Chains A and B, each alone.
Chain A
Amino acid sequence: MTRTMESLGLIREFLQDRLGVAPDLVVSDAQLDTLGVDSLMMLELMFEFEDRFGITLSKDLNTPKTVGEMVALMDQLRSEQS
């Protein structure tokens, strides 16, 4: 599985588990807030991301707005910290 697919898989899994969002709605241009990800859920998603991939996010990251931006951020950070 590619890194991008792993990141997308994590987001889909998280949104289904926490918010009941069907995986097929979690596509690249979907807005995270439309899917129900508010500031608290974003913190929780970041926490899950750090946990799963063993990386640390800095506090001054730009908050992604779409699923695609979130995936790109995850990929970039994993690449930098691997």
Chain B
Amino acid sequence: MSQRRVAITGLGLISPYGGDLPDFFAQLLAGESAIHFLRTEDIPRPLTIPFVSCPNFDVDGILGRPLASTMDRFAQLGTAAAFAAWADAGLTRGQPAESRENWGVAWGTALGGTLAYEKGYRELWQKGRERVSPLSVILGMNNAANAHISIQLGLGGVSMSHTVACASSAIAIGEAFRRVRSGEAPVMLTGGSDAPQAYGVARAWEALRVMATGDETTSPQACRPFSADRNGLVLGEGGAALVLEDWDHAVARGATIHAEMVGYGTSCDHSHLVRPEAAGQERALKAALADGGLCIEDIDYVNAHGTATAEGDPVEVAALKLVFGEQASRLAVSATKSMHGHQLGAAGAIEAIVTIMALREQALPPTAHLQEIEPACCGVDHVTSARRDVPVRAALSNSFAFGGSNAVLAFRAVAR
């Protein structure tokens, strides 16, 4: 079967700024941070961390109370994002005119329904109860989001979840891309969601000593990728979704095409669980370029994984320099986690959307709060000021996970 072109016809996310997708991207272009100081009511020691929330997320309004009651927060965020992407693609949730028996869902989540599990543990061990809610299993299971999405959108093809730490949704998007390109599915709904504010999860990340610190005043600037004074990542909750569609199918129904997805590369460092390797990332970058029929001269922007950890940022820049060589110095790079935080299993999808919006709007968002670049992170063209208006023909989105799994997505702009 000949390879199909893959159109991106739907984008949706639950914005930490509280608005819609255009507002989300405008906030990023302006360098505005969504990071705030979170103080929980946990006893005896509340969480006091910089965090990114979705405070205006109207769960009942979007999903309805009965449906929302059967979901953990991660599935609520994911399903709502999927509804937004579906609507953006101009697709209906009612009885469709054509069969959707081979349309599918590929979803990413690093944590699944952790809040539901944690609630159960509290009941058992903190309150001394002998049993937990009968809904605990279906709330907690990692495939809850994709299952709900398939049911709600009436999609009868593959429905799968990918759990690959911080690369979860990038890999979900890549696997969805392959299914559309091969002709197996004309439409795939893909993306990711996570809600890492569970007490135990946040404490576990603290124990790794990779979390940024901050208070009410300093939290908005707490995440400073590539900066000489960076001090770690900032967790956040979120959900983001994309509709990938067979190009001819999209054109035939008159859909708006935001961008073309052309390549997907993945690799494993196969060396260490948490220490990234430039050679592994280099392989994923080269694989994505080759898969997309792209050369390094075609790439005008890279949305970096850029978590602001001591280990990760220099290795990512080293990998880019290995791949782009002399072209690296003109390669525009930014890490938007500096503003929207790190949504773990949703991060790849959020950043894929940022990359597609950059192609669509021909404007690059910055790495916020980047005053002095760490010497080991120099050698690429860091976008440090708000909104850079430049031609963007093709772009990459990097996601590099604990465990050494790497994923790179490649997109091309379309004439508008």
Does B133 make an interface contact (CB < 8 A)?
yes
Residues of B within 8 A of A (CB): 60, 64-66, 69-70, 131, 133-135, 138
In the complex, the answer to whether B138 meets A40 with C-beta atoms within 8 Å is yes
Which among B60, B66, B70, B133 has the highest number of chain A CB atoms within 10 Å?
Answer: B66
Q: Which residue of A has the minimal Cβ distance to B138?
A: A40
Q: Which residue of B has the minimal Cβ distance to A50?
A: B131
Residues of A within 8 A of B (CB): 18-20, 36, 40-41, 43-44, 46-47
In the complex, the answer to whether B133 meets A20 with C-beta atoms within 8 Å is no
How near does chain A come to B215, taking the closest CB pair, in angstroms?
A: 36
Partner of A19, one of B65, B133, B138: B65
In the complex, the answer to whether B134 meets A40 with C-beta atoms within 8 Å is yes
In the complex, the answer to whether A20 meets B64 with C-beta atoms within 8 Å is yes
12 A-B residue pairs with CB within 8 Å: A18-B66, A18-B69, A19-B69, A20-B65, A40-B135, A40-B138, A41-B66, A43-B135, A44-B134, A46-B134, A47-B131, A47-B134
Q: Which residue of A has the minimal Cβ distance to B65?
A: A20
**Roughly how many angstroms separate A41 CA and B70 CA in the complex, as a whole number?**
8
**Roughly how many angstroms separate A29 CA and B133 CA in the complex, as a whole number?**
27
How near does chain A come to B73, taking the closest CB pair, in angstroms?
A: 16
How near does chain B come to A59, taking the closest CB pair, in angstroms?
A: 12
In the complex, the answer to whether B66 meets A20 with C-beta atoms within 8 Å is yes
Q: Which residue of B has the minimal Cβ distance to A18?
A: B69
Q: Which residue of A has the minimal Cβ distance to B135?
A: A44
**Roughly how many angstroms separate A20 CA and B138 CA in the complex, as a whole number?**
20
Measured between beta carbons, the chain A residues less than 8 angstroms from B60 are: 20
Measured between beta carbons, the chain B residues less than 8 angstroms from A20 are: 60, 64-66
Measured between beta carbons, the chain A residues less than 8 angstroms from B133 are: 44, 47
Q: Which residue of B has the minimal Cβ distance to A47?
A: B134
Measured between beta carbons, the chain A residues less than 8 angstroms from B134 are: 40, 43-44, 46-47
Interface majority SS (helix, strand, loop, mixed), chain B: loop
Measured between beta carbons, the chain B residues less than 8 angstroms from A43 are: 134-135
**Roughly how many angstroms separate A40 CA and B138 CA in the complex, as a whole number?**
9
**Roughly how many angstroms separate A36 CA and B69 CA in the complex, as a whole number?**
11
- With A18-B66, A44-B135, A47-B131 already in contact, 14 other A-B pairs whose C-beta atoms are closer than 8 Å: A18-B65, A18-B69, A19-B65, A19-B66, A19-B69, A20-B64, A20-B66, A40-B134, A41-B69, A43-B134, A43-B135, A44-B133, A47-B133, A47-B134
Q: Which residue of B has the minimal Cβ distance to A35?
A: B66
Measured between beta carbons, the chain B residues less than 8 angstroms from A18 are: 65-66, 69
Measured between beta carbons, the chain B residues less than 8 angstroms from A44 are: 133-135
Measured between beta carbons, the chain A residues less than 8 angstroms from B66 are: 18-20, 36, 41
Measured between beta carbons, the chain A residues less than 8 angstroms from B70 are: 40-41
How near does chain B come to A35, taking the closest CB pair, in angstroms?
A: 9
**Roughly how many angstroms separate A41 CA and B139 CA in the complex, as a whole number?**
13
Measured between beta carbons, the chain A residues less than 8 angstroms from B65 are: 18-20
**Roughly how many angstroms separate A18 CA and B70 CA in the complex, as a whole number?**
9
Measured between beta carbons, the chain B residues less than 8 angstroms from A46 are: 134
**Roughly how many angstroms separate A18 CA and B67 CA in the complex, as a whole number?**
9
**Roughly how many angstroms separate A81 CA and B276 CA in the complex, as a whole number?**
61
**Roughly how many angstroms separate A40 CA and B71 CA in the complex, as a whole number?**
12
Measured between beta carbons, the chain B residues less than 8 angstroms from A19 are: 65-66, 69
**Roughly how many angstroms separate A19 CA and B67 CA in the complex, as a whole number?**
8
**Roughly how many angstroms separate A47 CA and B133 CA in the complex, as a whole number?**
7
How near does chain A come to B122, taking the closest CB pair, in angstroms?
A: 15
**Roughly how many angstroms separate A41 CA and B65 CA in the complex, as a whole number?**
12
How near does chain A come to B127, taking the closest CB pair, in angstroms?
A: 11
